[in-house]
Amino acid sequence: MIPKNFPALPDFPAGEVWLAGAGPGDPRLLTVLALHAIGQADDIVHDALVDRRVLDLRGDGAELISAGKRGGRPSSQQRDINDVLIERARAGRRVLRLKGGDPFVFGRGWDEASALTEAGVRFRIIPGLTAGLAGAALAGIPATSRDTNHAVVLAAGHRAEEGGTADWAALARLGQPIVLYMPMSQLAEIAASLQQGGLSPATPAALIQSAATDQERVVESSLGNLVDDAARHGVGSPSIVVIGATAGLRRHLLGSLVGWR
Ligand SMILES: C[S@@+](CC[C@H](N)C(=O)[O-])C[C@H]1O[C@@H](n2cnc3c(N)ncnc32)[C@H](O)[C@@H]1O
């Protein structure tokens, strides 16, 4: 499947940790390096959001270790995960730390890379397609377009992530599209704060649940109707929410956009 002139893929040495992103869901959205790593690893320490079909690509005898749960992770649990990575690497295992999306986008990848550095464990980082950009793209929502925006904000809706709550009014004043990760628990507060910050209730918005999975669905909305539409359609986790002009571009593509599956 990989063309002959493709660059050589690196060996996965015993005692190393590879910190990889699995993309938003469907295994076909894995990077070549991530797929290679999944096939080579002795131990795969994975998050809840990593799609089962991705885990099923592991090599014979590879051990699966489930780490993390959806919706906020206490720091003690993060320490436990760090310890597992370090202990297994020191035992000479080839340890794949596999995260949904990209490990460095709201994925605690930095915490783990820092812990590995402190412990003197060698590691490699393999980026992945982040849900907020890839999930939106699959739904026909560009991160940027020349007609609408020159910047895009990735923001965590969940308070516990990335050190607390964002300054939503300040983000509203930027006038650039906002992609919310972990949006559901604070959606009403965020929508209200963005409007208090000056965004019109008519600002286009879209909710994308379970992007790149068989359960994927997209709900088009507006900032003013976001909370009601989320409730009416029973939108749950995992979802991203796009708020801004890019969310309104999707409808122009629907006549020709072929379902990605
Ligand atoms: C802890 S963050 C991890 C983000 C991940 N590192 C990334 O780059 O996509 C978890 C949040 O990512 C978003 N997410 C991850 N996978 C998703 C998917 N397949 N569809 C929609 N949102 C997803 C949701 O907002 C979810 O609450």
Q: Choose one of 106, 158, 186, 260 to mutate for the ligand 1 pocket test, by most ligand atoms within 8 angstroms of C-beta.
A: 106
From 69, 83, 167, 228, active-site residue = 69
SS3 label, residue 185: helix
Burial of 174 (0-12, 13-18, 19+ CB in 10 A): middle
Residues 87-135: pLDDT tens digits?
Answer: 999 999 999 999 999 999 999 999 999 999 999 999 999 999 999 999 9
Whole-number pLDDT of residue 75: 55
pLDDT at 145: 98
Ligand 1 neighbours (beta carbon < 6 A): 24-25, 49, 99-102, 105-107, 130-131, 135, 181-182, 208, 210-213, 237-240
- Ligand 1 pocket test: which of 50, 181, 237 has the largest number of ligand atoms within 8 Å of its C-beta? 181
Task: Please give the pLDDT value at position 163.
Answer: 56
What CATH class is the domain 131-253?
alpha beta
Query: How far is it, in rounded angstroms, from Cα 68 to Cα 258?
Result: 35
- Is residue 69 flagged as an active site residue? yes
Active site residue 102: no
Query: How far is the centre of ligand 1, averaged over its atoms, from the C-alpha of 61 (Å)?
Result: 28
Which residue type does 54 have?
A: V
Distance CA(159)–CA(144), nearest Å, equals: 26
- Helices and strands, number each (H, E), in the chain: 9, 10
Q: Where are the domains of the chain?
A: 17-126, 131-253
Bridge partners, 239 (sequence order): 209
Ligand 1: centre distance to CA 223 (Å):
21
Show Cβ contacts of residue 121 under 8 Å, excluding neighbours closer than 6 positions: 15, 16, 17, 85, 86, 89, 90
Atom 21 (ligand 1): residue with closest C-alpha? 239
Give the domain 17-126 fold.
Cobalt-precorrin-4 Transmethylase; domain 1 (3.40.1010)
What are the structure tokens assigned to 149, written together?
């925006």
pLDDT per residue as tens digits for the range 136-152? 999 999 999 999 999 99
3-state DSSP assignment of residue 191: helix
Residues 191 and 168: their CA atoms lie apart, in Å, by 9
Parallel, antiparallel, or unpaired for β 95-99 and 239-243? unpaired
Show Cβ contacts of residue 42 under 8 Å, excluding neighbours closer than 6 positions.
Answer: 14, 61, 62, 63, 88, 93, 94, 95
Measured torsion, CA atoms of residues 177, 182, 185, 191, in degrees rounded to the nearest 10 = 0
H-helix or E-strand containing 68?
A: none
Closest-lying ligand 1 atom to the alpha carbon of residue 25: 19
Query: How far, in Å, is the centroid of ligand 1 from the Cα of 92?
Result: 31
First to last CA, the chain: 19
Q: What is the pLDDT of residue 158?
A: 82
Please give the structure tokens belonging to residue 255.
């006549």
Residue partners of 72: CB distance under 8 A and separation at least 6: 158, 160, 161
State the distance from the centre of ligand 1 to the C-alpha of 24, rounded, in angstroms.
7
DSSP alpha helix (H) spans, the chain: 32-40, 52-55, 75-90, 109-119, 131-138, 168-174, 187-196, 226-232, 250-253
Residue 208 to residue 242: CA distance in whole angstroms: 8
**19-61 tens-digit pLDDT:** 999 999 999 999 999 999 999 999 999 999 999 999 999 999 9
> CA 110 to CA 14: how far, in whole Å?
22
Ligand 1 centre to CA of 132 (Å) is: 7
Which of 26, 42, 43, 47 is an active site residue?
47
pTM across the whole model: 0.95
153-156 and 178-181 strand pairing:
parallel
Verify whether residue 42 is a known catalytic residue.
no
